[in-house]
Structure 1
Amino acid sequence: MIMNVTDANKYLYHYTPAAKAIEYILKSRTLRLSPYTCTNDPKERKGWLFDFGTNEGRDLGRYNQDEYSGWLSGEFKSKTLMTCLTRDSGPLTGNHLFDIFKRGFCKPRMWAQYADNHKGVCLVFDREQLQQRIDAQVAPKFPVMSGPVDYVDRGIVRNISEDQQYTINVDVLETEGKEAYLLRHLHTHYKRLFFEKMTDWKDESEWRWVTFSESAEPIDVKFGSALVGLVFGDDISPEHRKQIFALNSNKGMYHEGLKWKNCSPWYDWSWKQKLG
């Protein structure tokens, strides 16, 4: 998990408060796909405004923008679930002395923002194993999309010929109906709609899984052996650490800690151990 890691695509990381890890994630051994609108990004929380387009000269004046935007945005956002993790930033040399600044578990701002200001933990998942678990448990019911988030700043003025993700094609809508149009628009534009954020977020190096469900009800995925390790925050309490060790006993997981010395993060080797 630390030493001799050269594959920047092998692991994914999930920052969380210690209490949440203990009460929900580690006790149930599940990772939750939550409603898309529960994020802290306005692009994802707020409704989208769509315009209309036609290649067949249809009357666009008969379409109410607020009504159809509310319908399409509402359908997407009320039924989309996702889970977000962080990647390593390659290339990795395999030398932990130099690679520490590129590792997904060593992002001070994310420890502060998502892991209770360094009092939480960072869960370490094997990406391929987690993909297999999600595919097995979710994909038979709902479409699953996964991949890295692209970070792009896009102005308010769109290039209509290229930027179609916020345009409703009324030719297809009238021919196929609303239900079929939803899925067609989703499959055509899911990368721009669900896998793109402003460059201000780029240091999160996000990887996400997204599924288009039947409702906003979360889906809990049993991750099994896909959880390969856990990193303790610098200020985690001894009690939380003790509880986590107990929950992970005999699970074959590595446990590490981070601490800060002057301006530099480093590994707290005093807590290094593999349980089970």
Structure 2
Amino acid sequence: MENIKLNFLKSIYSDDILYHYTKASTAIDYILYNNQLKFNAALNSSDPVESSKADRAILYSNVDKEISHEKLKEGNELARYLDELHDNFYMICFCKNKKNSSFSINKFNGNEELFGFTKPRMWDQYADKYSGVCIAFSKKKILSKNENLFQLITGNVKYKSFQDIYHLKYDDIQGDYLEQVGLPKYKKQLKKMIQKSFFLKHKDYSGENEFRIVTEYDKSKSEYEFVRGQFKAEGPMMLDVSDCIEAIFMSSYVNNKQKKDLYEYSKNNNIELIEMRWKHNSISLLDYKDDMKTLELFFYEK
């Protein structure tokens, strides 16, 4: 049975909504329990274009030019600086709705692909092979809650060909330019270029329609972890998402214990809980809380 109200679909089909796919156990035990999302290092990305470090060289137009020890030192310092930027790049990834300014939602059937919670590859790859959840957040609420806690860089991912990425991602250090502008200015310029590269992916990923929240790792803002009976300093950095959740989309393959936990959380926090029901030729949406209320009334009357 499909019992989703049109007003809900219209509210969720918004530029403000960001979707995060994850395992049901991760959602229940960490995200919902702690009201936090974890920043993850780009170095841990399975995409080698993102995780691989550049093999940088310091290039000069005149190969016979004698380079002073001081200039070599500056070039090496710049190379280390760029490597550290890459190492300290941490991010949280979301999907967006596929917005069409001239389109107005009047039903779900026939418009499934416009929503960020209906991406089969995301359910497969990030939501435990269709057995997890997709959490809908308010972007405005997240950024407002965290803008004074972190130096956040946010933006949409741009999808490019390999050749475009090759030209857009910074590689070698230009020694002539370093001598011309000096180390501080070159550092500042390169940092902006590196930050832009954090939002590049190959165009084969374009279906993800990704939005990222990025920051540099700062151990003073990291969490302590309790691991095997001991506190571990310099743990992960966490994004506060308390009161930022707009809805939870739960796979019909989630186990009964997890469904109960998600139901209790959504009921206690007045959040929509939608069950994604997979069919041989489509998907349907079920207002799980409303359905549970009907069942509870039925058994109560009996």
- Counterpart in the other structure of 1:262: 280
| 1:249 Cα deviation after fit | 4.1
- Counterpart in the other structure of 2:190: 185
SS of residue in 2 equivalent to 1:268:
strand
- Counterpart in the other structure of 2:21: 15
The answer on 1:138 being equivalent to 2:150 is yes
Q: Match of 1:15, as an amino acid?
A: Y
Contact 1:12 1:127 in 2 (8 A): yes
Contact 2:273 2:287 in 1 (8 A): no
- Counterpart in the other structure of 2:205: 201
Structure 2, gaps ≥5 residues long: 1-6, 220-233, 294-302
- Counterpart in the other structure of 1:252: 270
Structure 2 residue corresponding to 1:153, chosen from 161, 166, 169: 161
| 1:83 Cα deviation after fit | 0.4
SS of residue in 1 equivalent to 2:117:
coil
SS of residue in 1 equivalent to 2:83:
helix
Count of paired positions:
265
Q: State which drifts further: 48-57 or 144-153.
A: 48-57
SS of residue in 1 equivalent to 2:111:
helix
Structure 2 residue corresponding to 1:93, chosen from 104, 109, 121: 104
SS of residue in 2 equivalent to 1:3:
helix
**Cα distance in 1, alignment partners of residues 282 and 55 from structure 2:** 45
Structure 1, gaps ≥5 residues long: none
The answer on 1:32 being equivalent to 2:38 is yes
**Cα distance in 2, alignment partners of residues 273 and 224 from structure 1:** 26
SS of residue in 2 equivalent to 1:125:
strand
Contact 2:165 2:202 in 1 (8 A): no
**Cα distance in 2, alignment partners of residues 189 and 127 from structure 1:** 24
Please identify the structure whose Cα radius of gyration is greater: 2
RMSD: 3.4
Structure 1 residues 272, 31: closer, same or farther in 2, change over 3 A?
A: farther
Structure 2 residue corresponding to 1:213, chosen from 198, 212, 217: 217
Structure 1 residues 37, 268: closer, same or farther in 2, change over 3 A?
A: same
**Cα distance in 2, alignment partners of residues 89 and 186 from structure 1:** 31
| 1:53 Cα deviation after fit | 5.1
Structure 1 residue corresponding to 2:129, chosen from 114, 117, 130: 117
- Describe the superposition over 1:186-212 as per-residue Cα deviations: whole angstroms up to 9, x where unpaired: 223422x10010011111111001112
**Cα distance in 2, alignment partners of residues 102 and 84 from structure 1:** 19
SS of residue in 2 equivalent to 1:117:
coil
Contact 2:267 2:289 in 1 (8 A): no
| 1:155 Cα deviation after fit | 2.4
The answer on 1:238 being equivalent to 2:256 is yes
SS of residue in 2 equivalent to 1:210:
strand
SS of residue in 1 equivalent to 2:284:
strand
Q: Match of 2:189, as an amino acid?
A: R
Q: Match of 1:93, as an amino acid?
A: S
Contact 2:89 2:214 in 1 (8 A): yes
Q: Match of 2:111, as an amino acid?
A: D
The answer on 1:84 being equivalent to 2:93 is yes
Contact 1:152 1:196 in 2 (8 A): yes
| 1:70 Cα deviation after fit | 6.5
Structure 1 residues 176, 248: closer, same or farther in 2, change over 3 A?
A: farther
Structure 1 residues 182, 40: closer, same or farther in 2, change over 3 A?
A: farther
Q: Match of 2:207, as an amino acid?
A: D
| 1:231 Cα deviation after fit | 0.4
Contact 1:124 1:230 in 2 (8 A): yes
The answer on 1:74 being equivalent to 2:83 is yes
SS of residue in 2 equivalent to 1:26:
helix
- Counterpart in the other structure of 1:168: 173
**Cα distance in 2, alignment partners of residues 150 and 197 from structure 1:** 6
Structure 1 residues 259, 53: closer, same or farther in 2, change over 3 A?
A: same
TM-score by length of 2: 0.75
Structure 1 residues 119, 164: closer, same or farther in 2, change over 3 A?
A: closer
Q: State which drifts further: 86-95 or 47-56.
A: 47-56
